[in-house]
Structure 1
């Protein structure tokens, strides 16, 4: 796992209330009550904002609503591209068998669509590698083979460290004309960034969103969920994506912050 993911996991917004409260507790322990109370109060206030209120839901919803599922009846894709991201690599390495975290739908949907379109090749695209050599694409491959999918229809694109490298490698291997008729599968909240990366290499592709974290609303009350830890995780994941959209644009990896209509 690259350093930026580790840094975000350590000091990302989901952990910020904890760090603020810890600083406050240390200040109180060293007899700095005014500083301690300020930090502790800020930590508690931020916890309410991020863990009690549906902040994560409302940050995630526009990301997931950007693309809808296509009409499959008019498609005949030559390639079905699945981006890695749902694999629990440390657990997979320790147990010696595939383990997934919150996004197995990426691969499962890819396999299901590849069976629906028997002429399509299934492309597994990733690049995260543990020190022991365990790769995200290895976990995906073992899973696909384990459910009986044909090895001869699977293609591997590895050694890509981020979403835009995924797009560049897929474009280089398949070509723009093939991609134009192909399908891209990733989590719904990740699709805006992924599509911007394909746009940056002048390639178009049909997006298929999966792994939704939000749900349809009949009223704003429906967005509330009394699960503080889940809400913190939702905020962390959504903000990671929003920051990623901005970071990719600032560093020149994409042409815009948000996909055009």
Structure 2
């Protein structure tokens, strides 16, 4: 089921839809609607590579949970849960060079929160892609926190989960074993709505602590209207989150397997 979900995601997210639309234009070029489809495809590609569209799509996600600027004022909690991100597929590099920027910011936020109120940190996330060699993402993330000064005994591993929903299930087991209830949940701001949906369902009493924000306020810069690679990458991630939210909503409210 997990592999099927990953496969369907690749079918829905760009660039495959553009390729299929262009293929349809080529095959049916003599049909009256083919040129209209080509124009619509062109406009859609331009829109999904522009800054304003990216902002409009991403803002509802990133603005939902504000940063936890003063965790010392929050009601007592038992742990800090940080969700791992992806790894750069490279060998022969120093370990921390394989951490992508999103994972770096999440770990950095967990470290900041720990310094303010030291609580055990649960690093949640395992190997995701079954078709690639296993990479010890969880171990590298834990090593990073230890290098920065978190005592080894305060860094716990949850390395069985393959996605955020499974993270919630596995983290709840750790919380239950240690009689912990309230915890800070650290992940990217754009990823927090999906994470809270899963964790509220499977591991109640999470306190959102988003670790990085890409949007602060919209800047009326004319260059942002030009299609660019940065906007396209952000929109890709945002669409990924919307698909994930829909999937998790279904699993929480309608699926018998969840």
Q: TM-score range by the shorter chain?
A: 0.7 to 0.9
Task: List 4+ stretches of structure 1 deviating above 4 A.
Answer: 31-36
Residue equivalent to 2:233 = 233
Residue equivalent to 1:138 = 139
Which structure 2 residues correspond to residues 5-20 of structure 1 after superposition, within 5 A? 5=6, 8-9=9-10, 11-20=12-21
Residue equivalent to 2:35 = 37
Correspondence 1:179 to 2:181? yes
The answer to whether the 8 A contact 1:54-1:223 is kept is: no
Aligned-residue offset at 1:39: 4.4
- State the aligned residue count: 245
Residue equivalent to 1:66 = 64
The answer to whether the 8 A contact 2:125-2:138 is kept is: yes
**CA 1:115–1:95 in 2, change beyond 3 Å: closer, same or farther?**
same
Which structure 2 residues correspond to residues 12-161 of structure 1 after superposition, within 5 A? 12-21=13-22, 23-24=24-25, 26-27=26-27, 32=30, 37-52=35-50, 54-70=52-68, 71-75=70-74, 76-85=76-85, 87-91=86-90, 93=91, 95=93, 97-98=95-96, 99-103=98-102, 104-118=104-118, 120-129=119-128, 131-161=132-162
CA distance in 2, matches of 1:46, 1:121: 46
Residue equivalent to 2:168 = 167
CA distance in 2, matches of 1:223, 1:245: 32
**CA 1:148–1:9 in 2, change beyond 3 Å: closer, same or farther?**
farther
CA distance in 1, matches of 2:200, 2:212: 22
CA distance in 1, matches of 2:13, 2:154: 39
CA distance in 2, matches of 1:132, 1:140: 18
Structure 1, unmatched stretches of 5+, are 256-261
Aligned-residue offset at 1:231: 1.7
CA distance in 2, matches of 1:3, 1:136: 23
The alignment yields a C-alpha RMSD, in angstroms, of 3.0
The answer to whether the 8 A contact 1:122-1:155 is kept is: yes
Aligned-residue offset at 1:10: 6.0
Aligned-residue offset at 1:186: 0.5
